Chains A and B, each alone.
Chain A
């Protein structure tokens, strides 16, 4: 099978890569573009560690083919900060100690961003269901939820 040339936009940058048609977008981000923020925790869409935002929708990149990224817009954790200004979610995660090992953090940050983009003032329940697709084994989610609540407040200008 001949390799495919894909042109896509990642975090605002037009990028190209060449991949096999059965490679996942996760593999392409990590191995073709060197963007190792998204992680493979399970490969089957059950853990959310590979979460990215594709054309404004939160998805598991392990269940998207690399070739499907053609002409699409992708947001990954590497694009959350603006220069050296961390996104409020990133800052709040640090302040609230909302990470221990940090492996789920990129995916959870993207899920939290996708949540707040659509629902700027979520209730605790809405946050918990909004993050239900992201497994964290270290924290028990308590400090993560608090960090998202605090970030939501800041983004609302409170």
Chain B
């Protein structure tokens, strides 16, 4: 149902597009802001979780008797305390199973039991006293190995979906998905040059600096409160209630400030356990994960194995493109390969394209989203192949892409037809950017790559209340992970025509606002923003109504202009304009408090494209790679707060750089994670990076009143390939295994010589 959302492309904004200070900033620079682990409650207990040391094991029995005797232990939870309320819904059952192991432990770190005790020391001691009888089973952690016929089958009730005929034997291949159009075989026959390559990427973690933390307090009447760092407190409420068999309205969840999420905090992890402990102990229970637990028992990315084949004619037109993508989703069913298969060729206008995804189960923690989930790996494979093809054809990589880039009207490789999109603009901006002509020395090389992300809409509610003094209290339901409260205030202020400082935005708890989907899919500035704009317009209608009342004229005769109600024309009457403040001051006598609100399922989030350029220097004798220069060019639709858009571009690029060069999950033969800490899981430090230059392009999204597109995710998609392409241009080796760590690059260099 189309609302009045079509953007006025000629609109001059008053405050949108400026760079005011964010409202939550002062608390964050003074240490006053309260994150997940910063809350306390009287009588609070410390909760700790016992985790499987085995990658795959049947749990024959759990004996908690000795732990129960320990002084200071107030509650112990095992699978016996968590009955199955899923009613046959597999997704809910899997969440329950992931929160705490049932028949089997499915990965090292899988929760097996939990205690609540009066201190951390007692809780630690209690865990040591819990005896678990494991029958260790064969495990598999590699995605390709898990697909082999002789691999240990992890779930005996998973039969591959999406294949005909349906298999009669269970396997680790949960599903097969396929996208595309045209006839790729015919296309390849037409091609003058075809490149076929296989790639591997290792698993990574979102690496947020704040470990998961929550404080749960459940009363004997079954009502509960939860303070938690999360990207979706409404989701936490709904899922925790379902898992524990509580009524949704009995659980009130408050989102704390969140110390990073990037998709990893869009699920429940230990929250239902904290609630269950609190329910049993009848006292508040605080559960904070250690960094070791974060790596082992939250949601890293898939590791992947991808085959790409692209064919083109001599003139540089791509005539066929195909990708087979194998992604592991950890120990439970996920649709990660699905997303990879959808995004792989999304940047291009292709006559013949086919992508096939296999979602595979392995003995690893359950995969969660990480900023444009599944897209970086697919883009790595495709953009590396595109570069190689360009070189083979004797074309500049950027020109090859410009020639084949998707545009408005292109039928995307994953189905829908594109409206106005920004990839062409980012490519020409890149081509003309001074970075392209910066000088390069020995062992230095330049690479580029493109990236895409869909961006999401989703269920969203916003409430806007006008205070007695004309200031605005804005309540949104999407946790602020990147500075979105500032953008919401800008949009409300813009609509109402008042100064930005007059608007304060809070993230309301689940009892104070209607349901909101999680903060993900780069959706907040688009969805909560649109809801804010529409709530403001709703409030404006009411303000006009009050002015009409105060003037004794009809409502249709009142207009709103830059913060004032005005008579619509000379016939309406000679009244001086009424400010928002004046109308607010009189509210009690004109009908009571004035508010606007909006609830909807936002639709029409614009896709966002980016082009990245990177210069690297490779030390030929050690394989060490240094980033010299980095430029992000991305379409934001409309940059509501440009500094925060730049921040998203830079942050995503930095994560992509870490992913490309050093970050990986290292597993031993025993299926155990060897680098579950920030020492050996190496994320970029300040001295690893140069300044990251950003260019914000604005091709408005026709489905948002200001043209906003999501921006947060796309910029993690190009770096892997951009850097691989730069390394290839610097020292002549084509890296097909991510991360391109020094030992891998050195080995490739030595293999060549």
* B is bound to A: yes
Chain A residues with a Cβ under 8 A of chain B = 20, 30, 35-44, 46-47, 49, 76-78, 80-81, 86, 90, 93-97, 99-106, 109, 125, 127-129, 131-146
User: Is the CB–CB distance between A140 and B653 below 8 Å?
Assistant: yes
Q: How far is the CA of A43 from the CA of B293 in the complex (A)?
A: 12
Q: How far is the CA of A142 from the CA of B683 in the complex (A)?
A: 15
Give the Cβ gap from A85 to chain B, nearest Cβ, in Å: 11
User: Is the CB–CB distance between B38 and A131 below 8 Å?
Assistant: no
Q: How far is the CA of A104 from the CA of B481 in the complex (A)?
A: 13
Question: Which residues of chain B have C-beta atoms less than 8 A from A102's C-beta?
Answer: 24-25, 28-29, 33, 257, 259
Q: How far is the CA of A90 from the CA of B25 in the complex (A)?
A: 9
User: Is the CB–CB distance between B686 and A145 below 8 Å?
Assistant: yes
User: Is the CB–CB distance between B686 and A20 below 8 Å?
Assistant: no
Q: How far is the CA of A32 from the CA of B259 in the complex (A)?
A: 22
Q: How far is the CA of A44 from the CA of B260 in the complex (A)?
A: 19
Q: From A104, A106, A138, give the contact of B482 (CB < 8 A).
A: A138
B240: Cβ under 8 A from any A Cβ: no
Q: How far is the CA of A132 from the CA of B692 in the complex (A)?
A: 17
B120 to A, closest residue via Cβ: A27
Main secondary structure of the interface of B (DSSP, over half): loop
Interface string of B27-47 (1 = CB under 8 A from A): 011111111011000000000
Can you list 23 residue pairs at the A/B interface with Cβ under 8 Å?
Answer: A36-B35, A36-B38, A37-B30, A37-B32, A44-B677, A86-B29, A86-B30, A90-B29, A93-B29, A94-B26, A94-B29, A101-B210, A102-B24, A102-B33, A103-B260, A109-B29, A128-B687, A128-B689, A131-B685, A136-B686, A141-B686, A143-B646, A143-B647
User: Is the CB–CB distance between B686 and A137 below 8 Å?
Assistant: no
User: Is the CB–CB distance between B210 and A41 below 8 Å?
Assistant: yes
User: Is the CB–CB distance between A134 and B686 below 8 Å?
Assistant: yes
User: Is the CB–CB distance between A140 and B654 below 8 Å?
Assistant: yes
B649 to A, closest residue via Cβ: A140
Q: From B38, B210, B288, B654, give the contact of A139 (CB < 8 A).
A: B654
Q: How far is the CA of A127 from the CA of B684 in the complex (A)?
A: 15
A1 to B, closest residue via Cβ: B121
Give the Cβ gap from B149 to chain A, nearest Cβ, in Å: 40
User: Is the CB–CB distance between B686 and A36 below 8 Å?
Assistant: no
Interface size, B (range): 35 or more
B373: Cβ under 8 A from any A Cβ: no
B291: Cβ under 8 A from any A Cβ: yes
Chain B residues with a Cβ under 8 A of chain A = 19, 21-22, 24-26, 28-35, 37-38, 121, 206-211, 257-262, 288, 290-291, 481-483, 643-644, 646-647, 650-651, 653-655, 677-679, 683-687, 689, 691-692
Question: Which residues of chain A have C-beta atoms less than 8 A from B260's C-beta?
Answer: 101, 103, 137-138
Give the Cβ gap from B588 to chain A, nearest Cβ, in Å: 34
Given that A135-B683, A141-B654 are contacting pairs, would A106 and B31 also be in contact in the complex, using a CB cutoff of 8 Å?
yes
Question: Which residues of chain B have C-beta atoms less than 8 A from A86's C-beta?
Answer: 26, 29-30
User: Is the CB–CB distance between B30 and A78 below 8 Å?
Assistant: yes
Given that A39-B210, A131-B686, A135-B209 are contacting pairs, would A103 and B259 also be in contact in the complex, using a CB cutoff of 8 Å?
yes
7 more contacts with CB within 8 A, not counting A42-B678, A101-B209, A134-B685, are: A39-B37, A40-B37, A47-B209, A77-B29, A80-B30, A137-B207, A142-B692
Question: Which residues of chain B have C-beta atoms less than 8 A from A36's C-beta?
Answer: 31, 34-35, 37-38
Question: Which residues of chain B have C-beta atoms less than 8 A from A100's C-beta?
Answer: 481-483, 644, 647, 651
Question: Which residues of chain B have C-beta atoms less than 8 A from A144's C-beta?
Answer: 686
User: Is the CB–CB distance between A42 and B291 below 8 Å?
Assistant: yes
Q: How far is the CA of A131 from the CA of B684 in the complex (A)?
A: 12
Given that A40-B37, A100-B651 are contacting pairs, would A135 and B28 also be in contact in the complex, using a CB cutoff of 8 Å?
no
User: Is the CB–CB distance between B30 and A20 below 8 Å?
Assistant: no
User: Is the CB–CB distance between A44 and B29 below 8 Å?
Assistant: no
Q: How far is the CA of A98 from the CA of B654 in the complex (A)?
A: 14
Question: Which residues of chain B have C-beta atoms less than 8 A from A49's C-beta?
Answer: 209
Q: How far is the CA of A63 from the CA of B533 in the complex (A)?
A: 48
Q: From B30, B208, B483, B677, give the contact of A90 (CB < 8 A).
A: B30
User: Is the CB–CB distance between B121 and A142 below 8 Å?
Assistant: no
Q: How far is the CA of A11 from the CA of B577 in the complex (A)?
A: 52
Q: From B22, B685, B692, give the contact of A94 (CB < 8 A).
A: B22
Question: Which residues of chain A have C-beta atoms less than 8 A from B482's C-beta?
Answer: 100-101, 138
Question: Which residues of chain A have C-beta atoms less than 8 A from B683's C-beta?
Answer: 135, 137
Question: Which residues of chain A have C-beta atoms less than 8 A from B651's C-beta?
Answer: 100, 137-140
Given that A137-B207, A138-B482 are contacting pairs, would A132 and B259 also be in contact in the complex, using a CB cutoff of 8 Å?
no
User: Is the CB–CB distance between B31 and A141 below 8 Å?
Assistant: no
Q: How far is the CA of A114 from the CA of B288 in the complex (A)?
A: 29
Give the Cβ gap from B22 to chain A, nearest Cβ, in Å: 7
Question: Which residues of chain A have C-beta atoms less than 8 A from B655's C-beta?
Answer: 137
A95 to B, closest residue via Cβ: B21
Question: Which residues of chain B have C-beta atoms less than 8 A from A105's C-beta?
Answer: 28-29
Question: Which residues of chain B have C-beta atoms less than 8 A from A128's C-beta?
Answer: 686-687, 689
User: Is the CB–CB distance between B30 and A142 below 8 Å?
Assistant: no
Given that A136-B209, A140-B650 are contacting pairs, would A101 and B258 also be in contact in the complex, using a CB cutoff of 8 Å?
yes
User: Is the CB–CB distance between B209 and A139 below 8 Å?
Assistant: no
User: Is the CB–CB distance between B209 and A99 below 8 Å?
Assistant: no
A87 to B, closest residue via Cβ: B29
B30 to A, closest residue via Cβ: A81
Question: Which residues of chain B have C-beta atoms less than 8 A from A139's C-beta?
Answer: 647, 650-651, 654
Q: How far is the CA of A141 from the CA of B688 in the complex (A)?
A: 10
Question: Which residues of chain B have C-beta atoms less than 8 A from A125's C-beta?
Answer: 687
Q: How far is the CA of A42 from the CA of B8 in the complex (A)?
A: 48
Give the Cβ gap from A140 to chain B, nearest Cβ, in Å: 3
Q: How far is the CA of A42 from the CA of B692 in the complex (A)?
A: 27
Q: From B678, B686, B687, give the contact of A46 (CB < 8 A).
A: B678
Q: How far is the CA of A146 from the CA of B694 in the complex (A)?
A: 14
Closest 4 CB pairs of A and B: A37-B31, A103-B259, A140-B654, A102-B28
Given that A103-B35, A105-B29 are contacting pairs, would A137 and B209 also be in contact in the complex, using a CB cutoff of 8 Å?
yes
User: Is the CB–CB distance between A94 and B258 below 8 Å?
Assistant: no
B33 to A, closest residue via Cβ: A102
Q: How far is the CA of A35 from the CA of B31 in the complex (A)?
A: 8
Q: From A43, A95, A140, give the contact of B692 (CB < 8 A).
A: A140
User: Is the CB–CB distance between B691 and A101 below 8 Å?
Assistant: no
Q: How far is the CA of A39 from the CA of B26 in the complex (A)?
A: 17
Q: How far is the CA of A9 from the CA of B651 in the complex (A)?
A: 37
Q: How far is the CA of A64 from the CA of B550 in the complex (A)?
A: 66
Q: How far is the CA of A90 from the CA of B30 in the complex (A)?
A: 8
Question: Which residues of chain B have C-beta atoms less than 8 A from A135's C-beta?
Answer: 207, 209, 678, 683, 685
Question: Which residues of chain A have C-beta atoms less than 8 A from B32's C-beta?
Answer: 37, 78
User: Is the CB–CB distance between A104 and B209 below 8 Å?
Assistant: yes
- Chain B CB count within 10 A is highest, among A42, A76, A104, for A42
Question: Which residues of chain B have C-beta atoms less than 8 A from A138's C-beta?
Answer: 260, 482, 647, 651
User: Is the CB–CB distance between B29 and A99 below 8 Å?
Assistant: yes
Give the Cβ gap from A155 to chain B, nearest Cβ, in Å: 16
